[in-house]
A and B are shown apart, each in its own frame.
Chain A
Amino acid sequence: MRIKYNYTFIYIASGLFFLILCLALILTCFSPKPPYTSIAGAREAIAASRYKKTNKYLPAEYARLIETYDSAMIKWKCENEKFLLKRNYAEIKNMADTIIVSAEALSKKAVTIGNNLDSLLRNEFKTIEEHISRYDTIFSIIPVPAELTEKYTRGKLFYLEGRSAFVNNELSRAFEKLQQASKICREATSKAKEYLVSYFDQYDNWVKLVDDALKTSARRKNYVIIVDKFARNCQVYFSGKLKYTFEAELGPRWIGDKRHKGDNATPEGKYQVIKKLGPKQTKYYKALLINYPNEEDRKRFSDEIQNGSLPVNSDIGGLIEIHGDGGKGFHWTNGCIALKNRNMDNVFRMVSVGTPVVIVGSTKKLTELFNLE
């Protein structure tokens, strides 16, 4: 069977095909170029800036970059909805170019901040560690008020949290924690320092008490016991000359004068031995009972009751001794002075009733003991 070709139809169809093809080619040629390279470049620039931690150091600026990128993408989608020749990607390209420029600038800024923050953090660590070390060496051996210990502990916890954040490369959080730690530790150290300085206001009086006692000992050729609280020792002088120095343990609240019964403080001032107690007369091996409270103590106690510093039902306390059973390594008595038994034997042998006992905060200046600067 012979096929009949309808040449007119074939000509028209071919013509239409080429027409549509040409139209498609014209549309492709004349349609605006999609902003793919710019947008992809912008995304890569954001990723590169994130690598420089812009999201951590400059979160607001980083968020703006993301926002601009998202807006550009939305605009691109909207433009793609339009007829091919009506699309305009100029604004999108501009936005993408702005992102690239901003991301690069932010990256540089973040690197600077990162370097600064790193060195800032290292300095901050150094400062806080110095504070902690100073506090631990000076104030941990001194019975500072409980609120200071609490403050210092809080600061130390912030420091530990900051250290943990630093290890996890969370520098911003580490910085935040260290700033909190620094503020609290500085306050605690400063208050503890004030407390110590105020205690040493009595230094001149202590020096005078010791000098007078030594001069009297030299003149009368007798023994005198000097208890230096800060040096944690008990010095035995004869004729104004140092014979022995023994380690001593005091009450836990040994800073400051004894004010009342139960304050665990060791009194300060000039006293004398009023009774020698042998092994069966005391539960602390051997003891030398001193005349606390003396006249001065009674007057101060009475003044404190009158001015309301102490409750009216307060008790001044008593039975302060230099006794044995010491050598525990920490201050544990109720205000007495505890010596090791073998040292107590020596003191007990040398000392008689009436021997002066001078108890002072320190025989050295505060600046000789600690560097508080």
Chain B
Amino acid sequence: MKKIFGLGLLALGLAVMLSGCGKLPQADIDAATAAIDSAKMAGANVYIAEEFVAIEDSLKSAIEKIEQQKSKMFKNFAEPVKQLQEVKMLAAEATKKAATVKEQVKQEVQSALGEVTTMVAENKDLITKAPKGKEGKAALEAMQSELGVIETSVAEATTLFDSGEFMTAKEKIMAAKEKAVSINTELKDAIAKYTRK
């Protein structure tokens, strides 16, 4: 009886040794996937898109290697585990980097929104301060209409900003800023010409 039991154990041990040497690194897969999700949440797919896609590719490659090992009789997950740990580390770095870039863009947009709003107000002020009555009142109508368009653009950029779409907001507000600056220059030039006389 003892012999039969001993043989059974030996056979089981051999079978386990041959077919299941490596344990599926589920914890490493989950950790790497969670790290990538965090990076995405931080906006890495928007603010450092190329880097983010490269990390995602690396995760896919590691999972392919895991499946490859799973397909084998003799499994060895050492290489994919190492790759998963690298993915986790890179994703953590990307999270930090994305947050920094996002904050920079956010600050840039916030500052531009403030600048354009101030400049629109300044331009409006310049228009009201411009000589009234016979001189120049109607000449500024076109500028007022342009300022109206810029204000609409600022409102749109603010909505984009509030919804966290900083990149698109940046594009919009920078265009509005360029136009507001050109009006400001034009207005100041016109006033300077007038006051010289």
Residues of B within 8 A of A264 (CB): 137-138
Q: Which of A242-278 contact B (CB under 8 A)?
A: 251-253, 264
Question: Which of B19, B61, B145, B153 is within 8 Å of A149, CB to CB?
Answer: B145
Taking the complex as formed, is B23 at the interface, i.e. its CB lies under 8 A from any CB of chain A? no
Taking the complex as formed, is B171 at the interface, i.e. its CB lies under 8 A from any CB of chain A? yes
| Count of interface residues, chain B, beta-carbon cutoff 8 Å | 49
Question: Which of B11, B19, B71 is within 8 Å of A80, CB to CB?
Answer: B71
Contact A43 to B193, CB < 8 A, known contacts A31-B73, A150-B146: no
C-alpha gap A329/B138 in the complex (Å)? 15
Taking the complex as formed, is B41 at the interface, i.e. its CB lies under 8 A from any CB of chain A? no
Contact A16 to B10, CB < 8 A, known contacts A160-B174, A253-B138: yes
C-alpha gap A43/B62 in the complex (Å)? 12
**When each residue 1-20 of chain B gets 1 if its CB lies under 8 Å from chain A and 0 otherwise, what string results?**
00100110011001100110
Taking the complex as formed, is A146 at the interface, i.e. its CB lies under 8 A from any CB of chain B? yes
One of A98-106, A225-233, A330-338 contacting the partner: A330-338
Interface of chain B, main secondary structure: helix
Question: Which of B3, B65, B74 is within 8 Å of A9, CB to CB?
Answer: B3
Contact A21 to B139, CB < 8 A, known contacts A43-B57, A76-B67: no
**When each residue 59-94 of chain B gets 1 if its CB lies under 8 Å from chain A and 0 otherwise, what string results?**
011011101101111100000000000000000000
Contact A330 to B73, CB < 8 A, known contacts A17-B14, A43-B57, A157-B149: no
C-alpha gap A89/B84 in the complex (Å)? 25
B179 contacts A156, C-beta separation under 8 Å: yes
Contact A73 to B171, CB < 8 A, known contacts A264-B138, A332-B136: no
A residues contacting B by CB (< 8 A) are: 6, 8-9, 12-13, 16-17, 20-21, 24, 27-28, 31, 34, 36, 39-40, 43, 47, 50, 69, 73, 76-77, 79-80, 84, 87, 89, 143, 146-147, 149-150, 153-154, 156-158, 160-161, 163-165, 168, 173, 251-253, 264, 325, 327-334
Give 11 A-B pairs besides A330-B194, A334-B134 with Cβ atoms closer than 8 angstroms.
A9-B7, A16-B14, A20-B14, A36-B65, A69-B60, A73-B64, A77-B67, A150-B145, A161-B171, A165-B171, A333-B135
B residues contacting A by CB (< 8 A) are: 3, 6-7, 10-11, 14-15, 18-19, 53, 57, 60-61, 63-65, 67-68, 70-74, 134-139, 141-142, 145-146, 148-150, 153, 170-172, 174-176, 178-179, 190, 193-194, 197
5 A-B pairs within 8 Å (CB atoms) are namely A9-B6, A12-B3, A13-B7, A47-B57, A76-B67
